[in-house]
Amino acid sequence: MEGFVIALFVCLILALITKYLKVPPIPFYILAGVLLGKSGLGIVQSDELSRFFSDMGLIFLLFFMGLGLKLERIAANRSAVLTSGIIDLNVNMLIGFVAAYLFGFSLTESLIIASAFYISSTAMAITSLIENRKLMMREAETVIWLMMFEDLVLILFLAIISSGNQNMVFLFIKIAAVLLVLYALAHWGKEFLVSILDRDDELPILFTFAAVLTTASFAIVLEVPETMMVIALGAAFATTDPDAFEQHARPFKDVFLVVFFVFFGVTMDLSGGADPFMIAAICILAIVSKLISGLITGIVIHGSALAGIEIWGNTISRGEFSIALAALYGSGLVATTIAVMVIVTSIVGSFTAKYCSHLRRGILHFGRRSPLHRPHTYR
Give the footprint of other proteins on this chain (CB under 8 A): 68-70, 73, 122, 126, 129-130, 133, 135-136, 141, 144-145, 147-148, 246, 377-379
Tell the smallest beta-carbon distance from residue 297 to other proteins (Å): 18
* Residue (of 323, 321, 352, 351) closest to 337 by Cα position: 323
Strand (E) or helix (H) holding 203: helix 203-222
85 vs 225, beta carbon nearer other proteins: 85
Contact 65, 72 (CB under 8 A): no
CA 299 to chain centre: 26
174 vs 250, beta carbon nearer other proteins: 250
Give the integer Cα–Cα distance in Å for 271 and 372: 47
69 vs 279, beta carbon nearer other proteins: 69
Tell the smallest beta-carbon distance from residue 148 to other proteins (Å): 5
Tell the smallest beta-carbon distance from residue 197 to other proteins (Å): 15
Tell the smallest beta-carbon distance from residue 344 to other proteins (Å): 24
Tell the smallest beta-carbon distance from residue 68 to other proteins (Å): 5
Tell the smallest beta-carbon distance from residue 188 to other proteins (Å): 25
Tell the smallest beta-carbon distance from residue 76 to other proteins (Å): 10
Three-class DSSP category at 39:
coil
38 vs 134, beta carbon nearer other proteins: 134
243 vs 275, beta carbon nearer other proteins: 243
* Residue (of 151, 116, 139) closest to 345 by Cα position: 116
Give the integer Cα–Cα distance in Å for 314 and 346: 10
Tell the smallest beta-carbon distance from residue 314 to other proteins (Å): 12
Distances (CA, A) of 350 to 132, 225, 327, 343, 354: 10, 33, 23, 11, 6
Long-range contacts of 162-171 (CB under 8 A, 24+ apart): 162/225, 162/227, 162/228, 162/328, 166/223, 171/224
174 vs 376, beta carbon nearer other proteins: 376
Tell the smallest beta-carbon distance from residue 137 to other proteins (Å): 8
Distances (CA, A) of 71 to 104, 145, 151, 274: 38, 11, 11, 41
5 vs 130, beta carbon nearer other proteins: 130
141 vs 269, beta carbon nearer other proteins: 141
Tell the smallest beta-carbon distance from residue 242 to other proteins (Å): 10
Give the integer Cα–Cα distance in Å for 169 and 156: 13
* Residue (of 273, 345, 339, 341) closest to 30 by Cα position: 339
Classify residue 118 by burial, with Cβ atoms within 10 Å: 0-12, 13-18, 19+: buried
* Residue (of 20, 128, 113) closest to 329 by Cα position: 113
Positive or negative: CA dihedral 201, 203, 206, 208: negative
105 vs 252, beta carbon nearer other proteins: 252
130 vs 288, beta carbon nearer other proteins: 130
Residue 368 backbone phi and psi in degrees, to 5: -50, -40
* Residue (of 15, 26, 69) closest to 245 by Cα position: 69
